[in-house]
Amino acid sequence: MTRTVLLTDYAWPDDKVEREVIERAGFVLISGPAEPLPSAEIDALAAEHRPHAILTCWAQVTERAIAASPNLKIVARLGVGLDNIAVDEATERGIWVTNVPDYCVAEVSDHAIGFAIAWARGLIHFDREVREGRWDPASANLRRLSELTCGIIGFGRIGRATAAKMQALGCRVVAHDPHASNVPADVELADFDMLLARSDIVIVHAPLSPATRHLINKDAISKMRRGSLLINVSRGGVVDTAAVIEGLASGILSGVGLDVLEDEPRVPQELLAHAGAMITPHVAFSSDASLIELRRRAAEEVVRVLSGEMPEQPRNSPRR
């Protein structure tokens, strides 16, 4: 029987890397469109092709899509977060769920550092000013990074990489993560409220889950230092956009660096209009090297499972 792999969507120009890995193993790759379809259409694709494996980037792999795929052995995420996959349903049906948790550690931490430097040195602000015909160095209100404290929420692989880079710039680093272990001696663990109160820069590296949705909300922002910077390079839903807009308006936040938004790609006009808002279109994970690694490793997990082997990066324990 020919085994079929459904690639629901992809955030790059083509499916060449995935196709090469899948077809070299003797399987058939069926690709959906690059832009993710609505979940009902993904459900329909699953029902039509009854895949043995699903590779997904941003598209929702729902309980219905999984139930419509009786041959399914694995749902492999082309990324880190699993909030677009019905993991519990897959587990109940004996289906592996995998991701590639460490492919973009360097890129995401670099992106966070870039936001911090741009804010401290006024890079984006003054670039905008000069382009609009204003040359006013006397207006500079810049910061020395080595005198600042950086709070990191979520101290996994990426949080630790960000901490090391901020320390290399001279920053003091505090971290909050209920699950952290083996924390370096030069990083102080703090509870959530203490981190907010002590940090000039707050960087969010937390995954999206029911417990972390709107973790950064109006109450949390009210506890931050006046004039501080908030950076989110994790998931949009971890941060309440309305609360951020209010925080900018009140001056509690002097700036934000947002690579993700909870309703992306829609960007509220209040953010677009604010001089302190730095916004990038969910690209923190991206580089030539990281994308090739991501695509290859996710496809190799599919080949591994369809060949009867254990996955290298399981995120569940399927019932057998």
Res 319 pLDDT > 90: no
Whether the CB-CB separation of 185 and 163 falls below 8 Å is answered with: no
pLDDT at 124: 96
- pLDDT tens, position by position, 238-265: 999 999 999 999 999 999 999 999 999 9
- CB–CB of 100/297 below 8 Å? yes
Whether 98 shows a pLDDT value over 80: the answer reads yes
Percent of the chain with pLDDT over 90: 97
Same domain flag for 199 and 66:
no
On whether both 248 and 119 belong to a single domain, the answer is yes
Q: Is 235 a catalytic residue?
A: yes
Considering only CA atoms, which of 45, 43, 36 is closest in space to residue 11? 36
Task: Confirm whether 129 is a catalytic residue.
Answer: no
Residue-level pLDDT at 2: 87
pLDDT at 282 > cutoff 90: yes
What pTM, to 2 d.p., does this model score? 0.89
What's the N-to-C CA distance of the chain in angstroms? 22
Question: In terms of domains, do 138 and 255 share one?
Answer: yes
**Residue 246 domain boundaries:** 105-279
Q: The domain spanning residue 95 has which CATH number?
A: 3.40.50.720
DSSP structure class, residue 256 = E
Over range 38-67, report the average pLDDT. 97
Q: What is the mean pLDDT of the chain?
A: 97
**For 208-241, how does the pLDDT look when each residue is reduced to its tens digit (9 = 90+)?**
999 999 999 999 999 999 999 999 999 999 999 9
Smallest Cα–Cα separation from 39: which of 63, 18, 10, 15? 63
Q: Do 280 and 259 touch, CB atoms closer than 8 A?
A: yes
Which entry of 225, 235, 274, 295 is annotated as an active-site residue?
235
pLDDT at 1 over 90: no
Q: Please compute the mean of the pLDDT values over residues 77-93 and round it to a whole number.
A: 96
Residue 317 domain-assigned? no
Per-residue pLDDT tens digits for 195-204: 999 999 999 9
Strand partners, 151: 174, 202
Pair (130, 213) in one structural domain: yes
**Can you say how many angstroms the Cα of residue 264 is from the centroid of all Cα atoms in its chain?**
13
The total domain count for the chain is 2
The type of residue at 79 is G
| Nearest 10 degrees: Cα torsion 149, 211, 272, 145 | 10
147 included as an active-site residue:
no
Q: What are phi and psi of 7, to 5 degrees?
A: -95, 110
User: Which one is catalytic: 77, 282, 297, 315?
Assistant: 282
Does residue 137 sit in the same domain as residue 76?
Answer: no
| Residue 92: exposure state from Cβ atoms within 10 A (0-12, 13-18, ≥19) | middle
Residue 231 forms part of a structural domain: yes
pLDDT at residue 170 greater than cutoff 90:
yes
Residue 294's pLDDT band, with cuts at 50, 70 and 90, is: very high
One DSSP character per residue, 209-251 reads -TTTTTSB-HHHHHTSPTTEEEEE-S-GGGB-HHHHHHHHHHT
Same domain? 125 vs 244: yes
Using the predicted structure, report yes or no on whether residue 205 has a pLDDT greater than 90.
yes
Q: Per-residue pLDDT averaged across 149-173, rounded?
A: 97
Do 135 and 47 fall into the same domain? no
Whether 195 is covered by a domain: the verdict is yes
Question: Is residue 320's pLDDT more than 80?
Answer: no
**What does DSSP say about strands 253-258 and 228-232: parallel, antiparallel, or unpaired?**
parallel
